[in-house]
Structure formats: C-alpha cells, structure tokens
Structure 1
Amino acid sequence: MSGAKPGADAPTRPAPMERGGFYNERSRLQAGGGAHGLPAIARAFERMPLGDGPVTIADYGSAQGRNSLVPIGAAIAETRARLGASSPVSVVHTDQPDNDFSTLFCLLRDSEDSYLGAQNIFTSAVGRSFYEQVLPAGSVTFGWCSYAIHWLSAAPIAGAGHIWCRLTTGDTRRAFERRSADDWLIFLTHRAAELRPGGCLVVVQPSMPDDEPSTFPVLMGWAQAELDAMAADGTLREAEAARMTVLCYERYPADVRAPFANGDFCGLVLAEDFLNDLPDPFWGPYQATGDAKTLADQYVGFFQAPFRPSLLAALDPDRDTSFRKAFADRLESGLHRRVIAEPQPLMTPLAVHVSLIQKR
C-alpha cells in the first residue's frame, strides 16, 4: 500500500507512486508513449550549441527511473557524439520529495540498461515539484519530461466526486481545465529560467484527438461504478468517496500550443510538435490469444501503478492497513471481473503528443 499521508493530502497534490519498484514494473504503456519522443532528442541536439561542457541533462518527473533509462541514455550518446567520449555529463532526476529515489538509484547501479556504464557521468536527484524552479537559472542544457506533466499540481476543488477529471462536468470540469492550463504555463516558466540560451526541452504527454472528450471512458466509468457501490453500502464514507479523484488531465494539442500562439513564451519557442496514435498495448495480444484473464490482469496492473496511490490517499486518516487493503482488493477485483465479463479495448482513445521547445 502507498505510504502517502491519507485523507488530508488528497485534495492538494498527487500521491507518490508505491515504493519498491511497483511503478517500474507496471508502466508499460507509459514507456511505449515515451518512446515516441526519442527521435526528438536527436533533433534537439542538432539545434543546440553545446560549447565546451559540462552538459547538464534534467529528467523532469523521473518516478522510479525505468522509463528514463533509454531517453537519458540517448541524450548522453548525442552529447558524446558532439563533444567526445569522455566529456562530463551531469544527469539530474527530479520528482516530488516523497518519490522513491532509492529504487531509482539502485536501478541505475544494477540495471543492464543503465547509462552509468559510461565514464564521467554524474547522477543526482532533486526532490521538488517541477511546478517550482528545481535547478539554477541558466544551468540546464537539455530537459526531458515524459508522462508526468499531465499530473496536476493540485486539485482546484476539494471533492470533485468522480475518479477521472475529464469525466466531471460543469463548473467542476472547467475548474480542472483552468488548472491544467495554468500548470502548463507554470511548468514552462520555470523551465525557461533553468535552460541555457539555446537549450532544448522535449515534453511527451498523453493526449487525444480533438473530437474525443476523454481518455479511458470505459475503464474509469467502471472504476467509478465500483466506488459508487462502496459508497452506497457504507464501505466508503461520503467525504472519502467525493475525494477520490486522480489528478490527471490530458491536454489536447491545441492546449499545448496555446502559450506559443503569439510567438515565444518567456523566451521559449515551440520548434516542433506532433500527435501520434498510441495503440492499446494489451488488446492486440488478447485478440491473438483470447485469454481474458491475462487481459484483465494487465488492465488492472496498469490501473494499480499510477492511480491506486491517489485513491488510498483519499481515505480518512483513521482507516487502518487492513481496511486499505480490503478497499483496494475490492476495487481491483471488481475491475477484473468486468474485464473478463466484457473484454474490450480500455486504453483508447489515447494518443501521445511530443513537443520540442527551445530557449532563444
């Protein structure tokens, strides 16, 4: 179970991922989405003046690190291609203060995919939200942010009453939309301060076509139905049920481009951006095998890693460990039964948006 402080933190900020590599093991979709941004890394380095080094690479929203290994390794390779095999590179992973940095550093030490096999690589971490300035002004050569910026800095209201922000309605939905727009501006403002002149930032985030109102409407509809049932039979208290909102809000491509509508923003230029479809990684194999149990296992595993901590954090402080486990088990077993009873693609509609941003 998550170690996040329960109840009181739920309306204010996202809960940290569960520790011990749990997110690393269950973030296949996020890794696949991030891969769409890899070609932009090479194009970023083609645009950047590197000087004589040292080069500083910032990984904004690192989580437990597994999905950062390939992109950060690619950025190091681009640096070495330009400056030589022994050029010093500083890599700074950033995330919330209560992120599982221990798992990240053990992964860097032990993984065959670690970029630390190269010489003269210096790794550190900063425990601070990227909605603040996290590194000195003018110090970052290249920044990478993948599948992190759709997490809001805070809930704009307490008690949204639905698990998925984009499935709320009326004033509640508009409040989340405003928060998402403001957070994007805040994020860009701080990165503008941190980047060196000519430095680049690649941002990869989940998105969707303009004619789609929400991602995961079936999956999150089913999850909400399970939560409603627990509220109706008294398992969940009314205030707990109202707080159970995952603070994710995907942006349309137009939302990403909005700060740059009149040119640069805080000295940042949107050099390129594109939207790619992101296929459901679990549905294709199911069509080949017809194995509904495996399909259900995969969908529930996807749900657990990023979203379960937020729901556990919404429980009141007096809920003990046994209650928390029973709550999570009931929710996830309910989703599991629904997938087996009615197999269908649940990771749609979903696309991935990549933006390459450069500081003048």
Structure 2
Amino acid sequence: MEQARVGWQPAPMETGGCYNRHSQHQAAGGAHGLPMIGQAFAAMALSGPVVLADYGCAQGGNSLRPIAAALGCAREAVGPEPAISVVHVDQPANDFAALFTLLRDHEESYLRADPNVFASAVGRSFFGPVLPAETVDFGWCSFAAHWLSAAPVARAGHVWPHLTAPAIHARFAAQAAADWRSFLAARARELKAGGGLVVVQPGLGEGVASTFPVLMGWTQEVLAAMEEDGMLRPAERARMTILVHERRADEVRAPFADGAFAGLELVAEEAQPMPDPFWPAFVADGDAEALAGRHLGFFRAPFLPSLLAALDPARDAGFRAAFTASLESELRQRMLAAPQPLLEPMTIHAALMRKVG
C-alpha cells in the first residue's frame, strides 16, 4: 500500500497570504539575484511582444521587487508604450487569489506603476512546459527550484531529505538532479533566442551536510513522539518528508559540464553564505519569544503544508488544527529553552543563464 505513495508531490503553501507574511528569509535570499537581472537584459535585443515569467511565484510578495526591476530594464529597451506581459507560474493549488489581491492592492505592485503591464497566471508544474515555445524574454525563479517534483521513495525515514540514511539520500539527490535538468530544459524551450533566466536557490556550502539541522532534528523528534503517543498513525508519520533538496554549487553546474545544456548557457553564478536573518534582533534585545515566533512563522509558511498533506484524507479540520497546534507548541518549547540561529548554515546560489542564439 505504501509503495503507491511514491511519486506524491509537494503540497502548496498555506492560503490566506501566510507565505507573504512569513517569507522574509526567502525575500532576503532572493535579493542575491537582483544584480543579475540587469546583466540579463544588457545582452538582449527585445522584439515583438515582451513576456516576463515568474516561475514559482507562491503568493507574489517576493516577486514584486524582481519583476519591477525586470520591467524597468524592459522599458528602457522598448519605451513606455508597448504592452508587457507578466506570467506568474505555480502549482494548480497555489493561492492565486492572494497573488492577484496583492497585485491589485499592494502599494509596490508593478501594476500600479505601469498601465501597459498585464499580469496573468499559469497553474502547472514548472518541471515541464508551462508557456509556448520561444515566447519568454526573461524568466525569474527564486526559492522554488529546490522543491522536488515528486517523492523518490515511500518511506524516507526522516522529515528532511538531507538527514536521511545514505542510500535514501542518494535517491533524493538523483531526483533533484533529474528535476533540475527537467526545469532547465523546459525553460530553454520557452525562452526566445538571447533570452535570460535568473535562478536563485538555497544551497549547501563546502563541508555542510544539511541546512536547518537543529530545526529539522527537533521536528523529527516531535513527530516521532506524536506517533508514539498515538496522535499520528504509523503510515502518516512515514509519509512526513518535506520534498526539498538543496543543491551544492557543483550540482547546479552539472548540466553545463560540457557547455550549453538544452540550448542554455551558464553566463554567471555567485554563491554567498546567508546567516539567520532573525538572530541579530535577538542578540540586540534578548527576546526569546519574538525569536521563536519568527522561526515558527518561517517553518509554518513553506513546510507545514507538506506535513498536513501526509495525514490521512479522513482527518478532519479539527484534527489538522490540533496537530498543527501540538507541533508548533513542542517546537516553541525547544526554541525557548535553547535560543540559537536555526536558518543556517545556508548558501544562496544565484545563476544567470541565456538561451543560445
């Protein structure tokens, strides 16, 4: 029965704008790729309808700044009159309502600044084609490409793939390598000749075995205790693996080892360590409650939906709320007892690729 679960896909983010409220860490990481936007447009000769694609948009909060920068570059090239299309891409179950509400209401929305920009969305996995061939001038993808398309095993044995047993971890690494190639091949198909793609993703630095080793270690302990106490069924607990796999720099470069890959050439890359963004405030004020709240918000926004998706379908809303409250309470107790940086060690890898031709 469990074998049938192999291939299950990552769950969409929590609705109601939760990700927008708790993704400051992802926003700060994505900023590492902003300088590459200008580099991408500097080498382009824009012609015909201009299309910008935002791959892995989530609820849109972290897309405003990079898309505005790309629009600024495009306007410099084509002037104020031509219409420009911005297409936001994410899973079918993504909270697109929060995205379009943000684009309508946010004071920094690019739609407010330019009446000749038109936003749309595609609900489809970006591990395959999402837009017509040779129609995209520029693509942006930040903190999304490290999610896997599917689970390579039914029982991983740990909530965090980098902390699984070596043989299991190898399966996740192989899945991540195949997914990266699929993602790049699909983007190569969609980009116009000379078009640019910037991908920013969290990664592992030299000698680092896993990001979030303490946070995910605690999560593993709490989930195991929930199973032991009977709150979680064994099959549910076995499915609770968050489908992400942060790549090392050599894994990002691997498809380009022999030059261009699927029509894409790697133009520039940069890897920088990123410390826990919440830790400096704690050092300044010593407020452990505030630190725990920020860490829990970060955990809940991207990762909690994956755990909830592993519950049996018959579990009702009341149980799901109780599970969430229990998990967060146990994690909070650990965070208060031992305040420390939890969102590191992490390396942010930014890469600029260009369609050959």
Shift of 1:86: 2.0
Shift of 1:9: 7.3
1:85 aligned residue (55, 73, 80): 80
Residue range with higher mean Cα deviation, 155-164 or 68-77: 155-164
Shift of 1:160: 1.0
Q: Which residues of 2 match residues 151-230 of structure 1 at below 5 A?
A: 151-230=147-226
Does the CA-based 8 Å contact 2:6-2:153 persist in structure 1? Answer: no
Aligned residues between the structures:
352
Q: CA RMSD for the aligned pairs?
A: 1.1
Does the CA-based 8 Å contact 2:10-2:306 persist in structure 1? Answer: yes
Distance verdict in 2 for CA 1:116–1:9, change over 3 Å: farther
Pair 1:296 & 2:275 matched: no
Does the CA-based 8 Å contact 1:58-1:94 persist in structure 2? Answer: yes
Q: Which runs of 5+ in 2 are unaligned?
A: none
Shift of 1:11: 5.3
Pair 1:62 & 2:57 matched: yes
Shift of 1:279: 1.7
Write the distance in 2 (CA, Å) between the matches of 1:140 and 1:321.
41
Letter in 2 for 1:168: T
Pair 1:132 & 2:128 matched: yes
In the alignment, what sits opposite 1:279? 275
Letter in 1 for 2:309: A
Letter in 1 for 2:241: T
Letter in 2 for 1:47: A
Percent identical across equivalent pairs? 57
Does the CA-based 8 Å contact 2:6-2:152 persist in structure 1? Answer: no
Partner of 1:270: helix, strand, or coil?
strand
Write the distance in 1 (CA, Å) between the matches of 2:5 and 2:334.
30
Instruction: Report Cα offsets for 1:192-247 as digits up to 9, x if no partner.
Output: 10000000100000012121010000000001000011111111111111100000
Does the CA-based 8 Å contact 1:9-1:314 persist in structure 2? Answer: no
Instruction: Report Cα offsets for 1:54-111 as digits up to 9, x if no partner.
Output: 2100000000001001100100000011111222211000101111111101110100
Q: Which runs of 5+ in 1 are unaligned?
A: 1-7
Shift of 1:119: 2.2
Write the distance in 2 (CA, Å) between the matches of 1:159 and 1:124.
38
In the alignment, what sits opposite 1:4? none
Letter in 2 for 1:112: E
Does the CA-based 8 Å contact 1:10-1:310 persist in structure 2? Answer: no
In the alignment, what sits opposite 2:32? 36
TM-score (norm 1): 0.96
In the alignment, what sits opposite 1:143? 139
Instruction: Report Cα offsets for 1:151-207 as digits up to 9, x if no partner.
Output: 100000112121101100122111000000000000011111000000010000001
Write the distance in 2 (CA, Å) between the matches of 1:136 and 1:69.
24
Write the distance in 1 (CA, Å) between the matches of 2:78 and 2:7.
47
Letter in 1 for 2:62: N
Distance verdict in 2 for CA 1:9–1:58, change over 3 Å: farther
Distance verdict in 2 for CA 1:9–1:143, change over 3 Å: farther
1:113 aligned residue (108, 115, 133): 108
TM-score (norm 2): 0.97
Distance verdict in 2 for CA 1:75–1:295, change over 3 Å: same
Does the CA-based 8 Å contact 1:10-1:313 persist in structure 2? Answer: no
In the alignment, what sits opposite 1:13? 9
Does the CA-based 8 Å contact 2:255-2:261 persist in structure 1? Answer: yes
Write the distance in 1 (CA, Å) between the matches of 2:208 and 2:14.
31
Write the distance in 2 (CA, Å) between the matches of 1:184 and 1:260.
11
Letter in 1 for 2:218: W
